[in-house]
Structure 1
């Protein structure tokens, strides 16, 4: 580690990725500013109020920080707002002379996927690379943690695991804890990761395999339900485009190399994650 202790401003600290990153940084002995619109209680972290719609609050939140972990989302707002938030946060970090900005994007977002919330992150990635040399992009695959919420959770209560994918289509997966651990690793080893974009995943499973694993963990029968993309489109055209891309193209991540190069992450298999999260 290049510094025994760094001060890191973590945006979205109440969310899945920000929370996991804050906890991983604290475990590594860093000082964490848990940056959120509504200050949160995170043991060991300094709660800092900042709003992406108020660039001045970002200036204050980032002042004196060694690194910033940046996460953005269009869900709850829209794509243009996500891009504006990302650009404004990057510019605030540059004004604050932050030595390292780690942005979390999405696997394959740099490949013209046509998935709206992937393409918006690619716009932010390009701005980041133009604004500073002090950047790293980590690009997670599909979240294992989504199984514990939303339509997946509802279908489990009915003895089914539902995904809008064919039963045999493999899906690259990652646990939020691994995203946080990898972000903390990149921040702690700044020189090694500067100027790099890394797609990350920790396992690959078909929907049918995931249903079988869930059945084992929950100790009851769980059948795989191949939902239609058209049904998803009625809820979100963006998510429908994502699953259509996963079916047609898939995500390109070298999981074996990640596990070999960074064993300290403790990469979760889907079975590992499910056993901890759902049992």
Structure 2
């Protein structure tokens, strides 16, 4: 039997939100999946699993108010990609304001690791502005700071290059980078929503592993059963925002205390990079 008071999930048809919506549904929690296109195939799949799928647009306050009405918690994520940082901030603020109007009890915001460290990376700084607004909003909040996504290797350009035996990144071969999978982001978000008193006012960077590009290439080779070589490229080809991010990764680093996370939040599971690869059908 589903827990009746729903949890609203933004980005429910994407990687992060989809992982959380699926996990919550599997646990018997009522889920209200927020999407701009309720007719999409991903939205239909969530509806088939038992989610309530509703239209919600960050640029339409009326749709946000309706989508959040009666929800006890909100999983909020934002992105500047396909738009810009200023628009990301505006949309994040709009969602938080709607949560306040709807008397949502708890907002879990998925930001990014190190966003609170003054990195100078545009899409880190925009998320930190949303974090600060959320902290002032007068409702219970939790901020998760996911590290670099393991899941980005499973699709798109990265997967295409891996099919050619190439792991291409604008990083030094020996630069260790914190990594996290969507399943662990979902696990941490679900834990925070299940225990709001424990997580109210908490900001925590999250990752399941810390690996260099060379180590990642070696893991891919072992799973795929063929050679995979790391290649370093120039960051400027990724655009200004991502170039700034990779420059930060390569000079300052992206570290997360994975041992402390395992000790403090063992319920999440915390997959290593090899475990994620072993459980993911990466046959590119």
TM-score when scaled to structure 1? 0.95
2:188 counterpart of 1:174? no
Higher deviation after alignment, 216-225 or 247-256:
247-256
Contact kept in structure 1, 2:210 and 2:255, CA below 8 Å: no
1:103 and 1:114 mapped to 2: Cα distance? 20
> Structure 1 residue 195: deviation in Å?
0.5
Matches within 5 A, 1:219-234: 219-232=225-238
2:70 counterpart of 1:67? no
Q: Paired residue for 1:190, among 189, 196, 199?
A: 196
2:153 counterpart of 1:147? yes
2:39 counterpart of 1:33? no
1:237 and 1:145 mapped to 2: Cα distance? 23
Runs of 5+ unmatched residues, structure 1: none
Runs of 5+ unmatched residues, structure 2: none
Query: What is aligned with 1:136?
Result: 142
Query: What is aligned with 1:162?
Result: 168
2:21 counterpart of 1:15? no
Matches within 5 A, 1:81-100: 81-100=87-106
Query: What is aligned with 2:270?
Result: 267
Contact kept in structure 2, 1:133 and 1:195, CA below 8 Å: no
1:210 and 1:122 mapped to 2: Cα distance? 29
CA shift digits 1:159-217 (9 cap, x unpaired): 11111101100010000010011101100110000011011000000000000000111
2:199 and 2:255 mapped to 1: Cα distance? 20
> Structure 1 residue 155: deviation in Å?
1.7
Query: What is aligned with 1:201?
Result: 207
CA shift digits 1:35-80 (9 cap, x unpaired): 1001112012111111111011000000010001001101111111
2:253 and 2:155 mapped to 1: Cα distance? 23
* Aligned positions, number: 274
1:98 and 1:109 mapped to 2: Cα distance? 25
2:59 counterpart of 1:53? yes
Contact kept in structure 2, 1:140 and 1:200, CA below 8 Å: yes
